[in-house]
């Protein structure tokens, strides 16, 4: 991969992590993240830096992956010659439609769009991108890595995604930058840029609690594992804010943690997020 492309990908991840922190943890870690973003941005070539800042100022991702032959940012089918040029990575290339810079991923997990239940398209709230089949009332794993693998495997077993190994690797790389555990016993591990379909969410409970990372002071009891296509990155932040808001309410937390059956857990999750996840 071209070194500037790699730098842009890392910068994009830091910006998205900063946005996540704003909606889940307030001012926590923001100073350090802003400093890292500033330093990394300053090291970009001037023309690339100005282009990236212009896109970011429009609330657009500066760089996005190619999904097969499609720009994952705008959905335009790209010329084969451009796809090959991006794959060779001898220089930085942009989508001729949306101007986002592009990169190629040789192997990535894919969302299986045909699995999506057609009836769910008419539903609102969290029911649009999850189902009772993706609820785990009692996680068997006792570590963050184990939970991520368990939930990714559940998604693949139920036919929602393919590529558990790639999902787990990507989710753990994200955790290594900054833990996705937040307040009120909640963790939201996730993977962005997954090809195909829409956003997908699985939920798992640990009544005994999980020490999500070595410095964690509180145990994690509820985990949302989320697979996010590039085009849904902005909505994901709204979803994350809604889930965080739900778990600040003690009655909602208790109602969720009281469930021991996947169907009952699903119905309760839909109910308690009705006002917070639109």
Name the band, by pLDDT with cuts 50, 70 and 90, for residue 261. very high
Give the mean pLDDT of the chain.
89
Residue 149 to residue 198: CA distance in whole angstroms: 21
Tokens, residue 73? 């940012």
Name the band, by pLDDT with cuts 50, 70 and 90, for residue 230. confident
pLDDT tens digits, 3-56? 999 999 999 999 999 999 888 877 778 999 999 999 999 999 999 999 999 998
- 200 φ, ψ to 5°? -130, 140
| pLDDT the model gives residue 110 | 65
Average pLDDT over residues 243-265: 95
Tokens, residue 82? 């451009």
Domains of the chain with CATH codes: 3-104 (1.10.287.1490), 110-272 (3.40.930.10)
Residue 234 to residue 248: CA distance in whole angstroms: 22
Contact between 24 and 242 (Cβ < 8 Å)? no
């Amino acid at each position: 991969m071209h070194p500037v492309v790699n730098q842009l990908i890392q910068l994009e991840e830091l910006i998205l992590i900063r946005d996540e922190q704003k909606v889940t943890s307030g001012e926590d870690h923001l100073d350090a993240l802003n400093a890292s973003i500033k330093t990394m941005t300053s090291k970009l070539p001037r023309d690339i830096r100005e282009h990236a800042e212009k896109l970011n100022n429009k609330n657009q991702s500066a760089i996005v992956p190619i999904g097969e032959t499609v720009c994952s940012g705008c959905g335009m089918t790209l010329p084969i010659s451009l796809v090959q040029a991006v794959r060779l990575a001898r220089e930085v290339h942009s989508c001729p439609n949306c101007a986002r810079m592009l990169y190629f991923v040789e192997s990535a997990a894919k969302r299986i769009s045909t699995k999506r239940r057609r009836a769910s398209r008419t539903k609102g709230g969290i029911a649009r991108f999850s189902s009772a089949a993706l609820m785990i009332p009692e996680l068997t794993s006792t570590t963050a890595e184990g939970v991520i693998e368990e939930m990714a495997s559940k998604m693949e077993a139920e036919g929602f995604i393919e590529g558990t190994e790639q999902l787990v690797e990507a989710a753990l790389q994200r955790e290594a930058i900054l833990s996705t555990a937040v307040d009120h016993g909640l963790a939201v591990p996730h993977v962005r840029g997954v090809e195909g379909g829409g956003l997908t969410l699985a939920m798992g409970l640990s009544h005994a609690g999980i020490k999500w990372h070595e410095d964690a002071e509180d145990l994690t009891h509820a985990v949302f594992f989320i697979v996010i296509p590039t085009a849904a990155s902005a909505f994901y932040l709204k979803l994350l804010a809604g889930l965080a808001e739900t778990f600040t309410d003690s009655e909602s937390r208790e109602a969720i943690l009281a469930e021991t059956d996947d169907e009952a857990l699903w119905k309760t999750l839909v109910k308690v997020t009705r006002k917070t996840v639109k």
